[in-house]
Structures are given as C-alpha cells and as structure tokens.
Structure 1
Amino acid sequence: MKNKLSLIFTIAGILFLSNACTDLKEKVLDESLSAKLTDEDEANGLLAPVYALLPNLFQHTTYFALQEISTDEAILPYRGGTDWGDNGIYLALHAHNTTSTDPNVASTWNTLVQSISRSITAITSFKNSTNPSAALYLAEARGMRAYYNLIALDMFGIAFLKEDAGTTSQIIRGDEAVKYIESELLAVEPLVQSKATVGPGRINQAAVWGLLARLYLNAPVYRNIYGATFDFSAAEMDKVIQYSDKVIASGQAKLSADYFAIFGNNNHTNEELIFAVDQRPELNGHNRMAYFSISGDQFPLAAFPAANGTDGPGITSDFYQSWVQAYGAVDPKRDPRFYQENMSIYSNKADTCITDASYKINRGILRGQQYGALRVNGAFVRCPDGKLKVGKLGYVTRNKADLMVDFTEKIDFTTAGSNYNSGYRVEKYEFSSSSNTGRNRGEADIVILRLADIYMMRAEAKLRKSNDAAGALADVNLVRASRTVTLPPPALTSMSLDLLFRERGFEFYWEMLRRTDMIRFGKYEGKWTEKTNADVKKRIFPIPQTAIDGASNLPGYMKQNDSY
C-alpha cells in the first residue's frame, strides 16, 4: 500500500489543477492511473491529492517567508539593488507593512484553500465508498483538513467549515474555530494509523496528538488575537501536557542523537520526525530550504556545476546576538545546533584539491569567508590529478569577483547592509544530492512536527500552568542532552518563559515556527533590525484582495482582517 500511495503522490503532484476559489470549489482532473483500477487504487487516488500541495505550501516564498521573514530571525534585503527586490514585498513583510496584494500571501492562501477543497472532495467520496479502507482514509482526510484549517487560523485568523463539496464554506473565527479544529482532531485520533505503519509523511496518531498539543497551546492567542495578554488556562495547559505525554509514552518517535540528521537527505527514516512533507517519491519535491539562503557562488555538488544558492535571507544580528549572549566568551559554534563543519579544509587559507565524493558543504549558521569549489565559465576548476579545486569564494556570478563570499553580521536595508555578502546565512537542510539546478528534486522531508517540539511544548505548559520551572528545565535539558553525536550543549541551570523562548529559537530556527512563537510569547510587537511597527493588528496577515474580490457577489461573506 505504501508503494502504491507514493506512486500516486508523485503523479498527483504533477497534475495541473485550477486555482481554488474563495468558496473552495475546485475542478479536479481525472487522476486515474488506468482504466481498470482496484478499489484500493481508487482510494489511494482520492487521498493522494490531499497531500500533493504540501511541497508548494512549504516553499521558500510561501509559508516559510510569512513565518520567518516577518520575525526577528530572518531578513531579506534588496540584494545589491538588483536581486530580491520584488516590488518591496520582503522589506514590507519584515517591517510588518504587508498589504493585501502581496503575491506570497495570495499564494499561501490559495494553496491552503485548494488543499482544504481537496480534503473535502476526498471526505465526500470516502463517506460513500464501500472500500474496506474507506473509514481509515476518511479519518486521514479529515485530519488533514483540520491541519490546513489550523494553519489558516494561525495565519489569517479564520477557518473554513464545510462538509458538502457543493455548498459555500462557512467562515469561522476565534473560539468557534478552535473548537471546530479540536473536534475534528479528536474525532480522528482513534482512527488514524500509527507513525510506525504509515511513516511521517502522512497524518498519523502521534501527529494528531502533537497537533492537539499545538492547538491547545496557541488557543488563547487564537481566541483573542489582538489581546494585550492571553489567558493560558490551567485546563488547556493540562491538555498540552496530556497529549505531549501520549506522544512521548507511545514510543512512536525518538530524539535524534545527530541534530543535523533531522534535516538530512535521508531524514524520512529519522525517528525524531513525527509529521513531515514527504519529498521522496521520484524526487518530485523542491530543494528551496537548502538553496534559499546560501550564496549564488556556493556550488554544493561536485556533479552539478549549475546547482547553487541565491543569496536570499540571512539571520538578523538580533537573532545572532541571542546566541552570543547565551554563550558569552565561548563561540556559539560550540552548540551542535548552531554549526556542523563537514569539511575542516574550508578553514584553510590556501586552495586545496579534494575528491568529488569528499566534497560537502558545512551546515547550520554560516559566518565569514566561505570556501568551496571554484567555477570558471560554467565548469569547476580541476587540479592536475582531476580533483576539485577548493578555495576562497568570490561573487564571480554577480560579476563582482573582488567581492568575497564573506558573510558579515551586519544585514539591513541600507546599501551596505543589502550587499550580496551581508548577513550570516542558514544551511540547516542538507542540499539535495540530486538537485541539478539547486532548486528542484528535494530529498529531505520538510519537518512539520518533531519530538523536540513535543518536549518543548510540554515544558512551556508546565511553566504557564503552575510555574513548574523544575519540570520545564528537565524537559529542555533532556532535549539538549540527546544530541550526543558531538558534544551536546551544556545543561541549563534555570528556566523561565524568556529562557524557553530563547531555547525554542536555538532549537527550531528556520523551521517556520518563529512568528507563532513570537506572538504567543508577547514578542511580536518588539523592535529589531528594520522593524519598529508595534501594531497588534499585524499578528495575522491580510486576506488576499483577489479572495475579497472573488467573493464580492456574496455581500458580507469575506470580511477583511482589521487594519488592512
């Protein structure tokens, strides 16, 4: 069954489907594999489209951009005055000045509503199916509909309530939306399969428990999105603890001893992953998480001299300094989550010859002068013995050979702070070994939920419920101590909400959790590099103007979020 579904995922992922409308109606093309399908094939064919747009949702310019570039963690300036200008949308996003015509907001919205539409189509079909697997797949489709609605609630402040594919969705907000998503997840909890059965690429029992914990932890925000404070009730914090306990006790996930293996090309079998975007089938995913931040003159693959980065976002000095403050006189690379040096040769000053098989770029937060394969006229320079010639990189592809790929801490919207080399970069996900362009053929599953987050959510609930600092500290230190492939981070000696927020930044940077975390911890209206806007109405994004216009024939149906 797994192999069949993986094949159908691949085919569904490349089918052309029309853009979803506001009322979640979508024209679904014939997705048959043959004229004579078995009942199981038909069931798989209905379920596959429910997942097929996840790689699109988790691209660099959709969910990632909105969740990271809007925060103190990531910033994307107008590089060199020529690249990533995009009519100022990334500058506006970081400064909390996004408008309803932002194309990345529209793309994220459209992908979400289209995925909800596909889920409803599958639910309707499975309700009428006599297939023995129908009840199981129905639960899975309902679970994914709840997940997509959870993202929509988090980002846009609304959820879509709809059971019949032929009717218009009801838009719900606040507590009503929280209760709806909760009821759906609780309904499918006893019906979906274990992670051991279906893997992390499909909604599973541990994923449902983890999503319930995430929902309960953020529910006070969703009920009162513009509030000065949030009511983290003891009852809901108990539920966070309850469902976190279920995940941990089930044994369906284990903390990874190697932190960067969680984001490696073979991470589908990494036991820490609970729920993820499965990018394995036919390498039909994307490599954008690895390509987006590194330099256009970093070429990570000996086999593909056209596969490079793009000089996208860097981390802000504010976020980098949180590491510095935590480690004092010790370089933060002492923390195995901060940096992984795959090739110590990159620290050498002289050019060096290296075999193709040994060539592998460093991971984590990249600072200073970068070394790599030297490239001239589209081909890698070779030593006399045929090995790759590795040396200091300059911005040759930008026709700025005198500008070295020497990443600086300073990055902002000034001319100097917007240069190609400004800002420390992030290479958290491993660069796909099969990506011939650098953009395509992703191999690493993109993490949606992993076990470390379960422990961290439980720690936060303990603090918010009864200020159980000792219990929270134990959970956080357990995660830190698990990274034993290298020297693990030193144990912390105290715990508070501010320290936990800092720790979540260290553990989950670049994982599309930062905006949600900042709002919940009361940090989103703060000041950081190039951001001073303290308007609480910017906690959620505008509903795209295209969606407002598309619903104009239904007066009052699609109400724009406040301040947009």
Structure 2
Amino acid sequence: MKNSIAKILVGAAVVLAGCTDLDEEQFGSLSPAGYYKTETEALSSVVGVYQQLSYVVDIGDPFRISEFGTDEFLVPGRASGGWFDQNNIDIMLHQVKPTNATTGRAWGFIFQEIGTANAVIESLESSPNKANFPGVIAEARALRAYGYFYAMDLWGNVPIFTQARVDPKNLPTNNTRAEVFAFVEKEMLAAVNDLPSVKNVSASYYPRLTKEAVYAALATLYLNAGVYTGTPKWTETIAMTDKVISSGAYFLEANTVDNFKATNEVNSKEIIFAFSVNPTRNAGANQFMLYAQPALDKQRYNLPFTPANGYSTYQEALDRYETADRRRSLLQFGPQTYANGQPLVDSRGVQLNLVPVKDYISAQDNEGYRVLKYVPEGVSWSGFNADNDLVLLRYSDILLMKAEALFRNGNVGAALPLVNQIRTRSNASTLTSLTLKNIEDERAREFIWEGHRRRDMIRFGTYFTGTWTFKTTQTPTWRGIYPIPAEQLTANPNLKQNPNY
C-alpha cells in the first residue's frame, strides 16, 4: 500500500497547489467538471489532506505543542550549541504568549489542513460525478473535522469556515469551543454513514478512514466533552468504543512496540488509524529517530545519519513504569549498551550515560532520557527519513477510553479488567483495585509521545495542579488553551483573543 499511496500523492500535489490556506483566494487550476471522473481521481486530492493531518503525530509543531508543557516531553538547549528555543521553553513552563512562534506555526499547519479540506470538499461536491464517490467525500469531511478537533483542543474558540475561498471583506469570526465541538461531532457522524466498515474492506484499503476509525475519533471527542463544553459525555464515549470493539477487527499486539516498527502497516492488528509513510517515493517521512536519539545511536543501530540529540523526557515519566514493564525498555536512561550488553562508547572510549536534564537552557549532551518511539528494526532509510507509518489511534486507546468512561459513570468493576488487559500485555503487575490516577498513569505509560498527554493531563486536572522538573508552580486553568497567535489577530481583526491573554 505504501507504493500506491505514493503514486496518489504525486497527483495530489497538482490539485492542491494554491488552495491550502484559509487566507488563500486562488481555488486551483483544475475544473471539477473536467476532473474527478473516477473514485481514484477523487481520492488523489483527499490523500493530500491525509498527509497534512499527519503533522499532528509527526515530529512537527502540532505534535510538539501537544507534548510540550507535559511531564513527558522537553527539548533542552545544549551547551555544545543548538536546540535552544525560548518559544519551546515558554510552552514547557506554561508561559506561552500570543507571539510564541511554535504555537503560531502549529496554527498554520492545522488551518492549512482545514483549508485544503475545504477546497477539496467544494471541488468534489461540484463534480458532476459526485454521486459515484460518496465515500471519498465522507473521508474529506471527516478529515476536516479532525483538523477542527485539534484546533478546538489547542486553541478553543476558533473560527468555523467551510468555504474554499475567504472573502477579505468578510473575514471569519471566532466560534465558541462548544460550537466547534458540535460542528466536529455533526461532521463526523454524517461522514461515518458513507464510510466502509473495516470488516468489509481488504488490507489494501489501509490507511484510509473506516467507520471504526471515525468511531474511535468520536470516542476521543466525547471523552473530552466535559473540558470542551462543560457537559461530560461518558455514556457516548462507551457507545463509540463499543462500536469499535464489536467489529472484532482489532486486538492487542503481543508487544506495544510492534505497533511502531517499519512493518506496522502490514502486521499490526492494533492500529485503527495511521498515516502511510514512504520517504523513498517522497510520500511522507518519519523523523523521530533523527530528532530524539543521542548521536551515538548512529553506531548502536547502524544508522545512515547521526541523530540530532534533541527530544528528551523526564525522570517523572520513567518513574511511572515498573521495572518489569516491557514498555520501560524503550526509554533510554543510565549507562547505554548495545543489544549484546557491550558498552556504547564514544571515540574516546567513554560510555554514554544518560542522566536527567539539569539545565534546560544549557544541558550537556548526555542530559535527558530518550524515548525510542519508532524503532529502527527493518527500516528502509532515505537519508535520515524512516518509513515507519505514523500512528494516531490504537485499540489499546479504545480499551482505556472505555475504562475511564465506565469508571466515571460509576462502573468501576467493569473498568478494572480493561486496564489490566493493557498492563498484562506489557508484563506490569495486575491491579486489584482502580482509581482515576491509575487510569491516568496507565494512559501515560501506554501512549508516551503519541500526542495524548497534554489532553489527558488537562482532563484529569494534573496539567494545572501538578508540578514536575522545571514546572514548579500551579497553572491557572485559563492556560488550558493556547492564545490565538498574534499574527492571526493582525491578519484578521474579526478574531478575538482567548481570555486572559
């Protein structure tokens, strides 16, 4: 499927040129009447929207601002030069300003995805052949809704705009977070009707959206409804997770890491929604190894490049794992060795010893524990780009979302075995009782660096009340959303800044 997706992406680049921003007036050079004669031609546009949405789990700014500010992700400046960025440090310390460049770029990426989806949907709807591909239109609507989900999650009160072009004399205004929630819910529920079930498609359909993928997205939406609207939707969360479970199409892999190997698009039965990556054909790239690993991992894993020694995690993240928990082995800490136990040493014969970050402004190169999220086993490299598909939703999330919703609905007895399924898979001890903290911590262990942690911490309250390395004071709740970027307020005077910013 990687090759077929790559071929479609080449075609998508033609259609998407000039229509990828809410501020962009040009619609595109191809007429709907002369194009989209077949479903394959229609899909060639939608694949580009998939690629843009992938930034929420790729190593780019939407992913970064979903992880910065949590107790599992930091990028310290290095004493040897490089990596210092005050914008990132301000997010880490919960001191974001409207002028923050990192959150500003993330806004641009997400609204580019939304703008592209708007243009594609309008073009598809204008085609005289649109009745032949309702599923493709549904995909585009669900992908746009996904973009709005992230915009709502990160900035709260964002404009809902569904046209392909913006009238500069009638610029969009903010919608409330609750209004955006209702829009996302309505669009996803409408789209799911025209999408196939995973039970009725072949393996070659991967990685396109299925009913079950949208049900999983709706479960995530409902799980956080109390934060977004003030009204919890635990029963709705359970209903959506049950739709995924009852499909019988998914199960837990023997090891969590199997979901993140280069062969994950072929072998994993746990992945519900992922983004296809094939850097050898210019169809996306996975750069986790480049940005997250220490330089000596070049020789440890025989990499064709030297990793940039950037992304790190905290002692607090490591301390959540029991010693026997297999997920803990993917965190790199302390004296480093090769797989055979031989010390990993530099050119001077000094063994690499990873220690906690002591100075986030000027850290030594060995400061910061690392997370080997996407493993190098079986990778086909294109320079520093890996071909591990980028994972957004997994079946383990379905089980833990259902467990949390059951617990909050008062059914602790039904929630406990779901959490223990996840723990047993990773050789963690079996829980005999359950608390909300158990559930939050289990999510942190299971989904480290998968873009969930900030959203989870806000829902559980620990984003505001918790303290950890470098974050030593409580955070006011209004910082649960980021400020609307200053450049967006300048470009569009109809937008209003979020409260207290």
TM-score normalised by L of structure 1: 0.79
Q: State the Cα deviation string for residues 1-30 of structure 1 (Å, max 9, x = none).
A: 997554112453699856955x45364655
Question: Are the structure 2 counterparts of residues 302 and 517 from structure 1 closer, same or farther at C-alpha, using a change threshold of 3 Å?
Answer: closer
Whether the 8 Å CA contact 1:13–1:52 is kept in 2: the answer is no
Instruction: Tell me if structure 2 keeps the 8 A contact 1:142–1:188.
Output: yes
8 Å Cα contact 2:27/2:164 also seen in 1? no
Q: Distance in 1 between matches of 2:105 and 2:51?
A: 15
**Which residue of 470, 476, 489 corresponds with 1:530?**
470
Q: Tell me, what secondary structure is at the counterpart of 1:53?
A: helix
Does structure 2 conserve the Cα–Cα contact (< 8 Å) formed by 1:409 and 1:423? yes
> Does the CA contact (< 8 Å) of 1:209 and 1:243 recur in 2?
yes
Q: Is 1:368 matched with 2:368? A: no
Structure 1 residues 61 and 5, CA, compared in 2 at 3 Å: closer, same or farther?
A: closer
- 1:353 alignment partner in structure 2: none
Rate the CA distance shift 1:67–1:482 in 2: closer, same or farther, 3 A: same
Question: Which residue of structure 2 aligns with residue 313 of structure 1?
Answer: 311
Contact 1:265 1:445 (8 Å CA) reproduced: yes
Report what 1:422 is aligned to: 367
- The aligned counterpart of 2:177 is 174
Q: Share of identical aligned residues, percent?
A: 29
- Greater radius of gyration (CA): 1
TM-fit CA distance, 1:144? 0.6
Whether the aligned pair in 2 keeps the contact of 1:304 and 1:437 (CA below 8 Å) is no
Moved more, 99-108 or 495-504: 99-108
- Go from structure 1 to structure 2 and tell me whether the alpha carbon gap of 1:367 and 1:15 turns closer, same or farther (over 3 Å shift): farther
1:506–1:57: structure 2 CA closer, same or farther, 3 Å change rule?
Answer: closer
Runs of 4+ aligned residues of structure 1 deviating over 6 Å after TM superposition are none
Task: Give the 5 Å matches for 1:224-373.
Answer: 224=230, 231-232=231-232, 236-269=233-266, 270-280=268-278, 282=281, 284-299=283-298, 304-305=303-304, 307-323=305-321, 327=322, 332=323, 334-339=324-329, 364-371=330-337
Q: For 1:513 and 1:446, how far apart are their aligned partners in 2?
A: 14
| Residue aligned with 2:463, SS | coil
- Equivalents in 2 of 1:413, 1:301: separation in Å? 26
Q: Is the 8 A contact 2:12 2:46 kept in 1?
A: no
Tell me how far apart the structure 2 counterparts of residues 191 and 170 of structure 1 sit (CA, whole Å): 31
Q: For 1:379-399, what per-residue CA distance to the aligned partner results, in whole angstroms no more than 9, with x for missing partners?
A: xxxxxxxxx9x75323x6xxx
Letter paired with 1:254: F
For 1:8 and 1:30, the matched residues in 2 are separated by: 18
- Give the TM-score, by structure 2 length: 0.88
AA of the residue aligned to 1:367 = F
Which of 210, 218, 222 matches 1:216? 222
Number of residue equivalences? 486
Shift of 1:275: 0.8
Task: Summarize the alignment of residues 153-172 of structure 1 with structure 2, pairs less than 5 Å apart.
Answer: 153-167=152-166, 168-169=171-172, 171-172=174-175
**Secondary structure of the residue that 2:246 maps to in structure 1?**
helix
Q: CA RMSD, aligned part only?
A: 2.9
Structure (1 or 2) with the greater helix fraction: 2
User: One-letter code of the match for 2:366?
Assistant: N
1:558 is matched with which residue? 495
Which consecutive unaligned segments of at least 5 residues does structure 2 have? none
Over 3 Å counting, the alpha-carbon distance change for 1:28 and 1:258 in structure 2 is farther
**3-state DSSP class of the match of 1:276?**
strand
Q: What are the residue-to-residue correspondences of 1:63-78 with 2, within 5 Å? A: 63-78=62-77
Aligned residue among 89, 108, 113 for 2:111: 113
Contact 2:16 2:116 in 1 (8 A): no
Partner Cα distance (2:134, 2:222) in 1: 26
Secondary structure of the structure 2 residue equivalent to 1:74? coil
Specify the alignment match of 1:456 in structure 2: 400
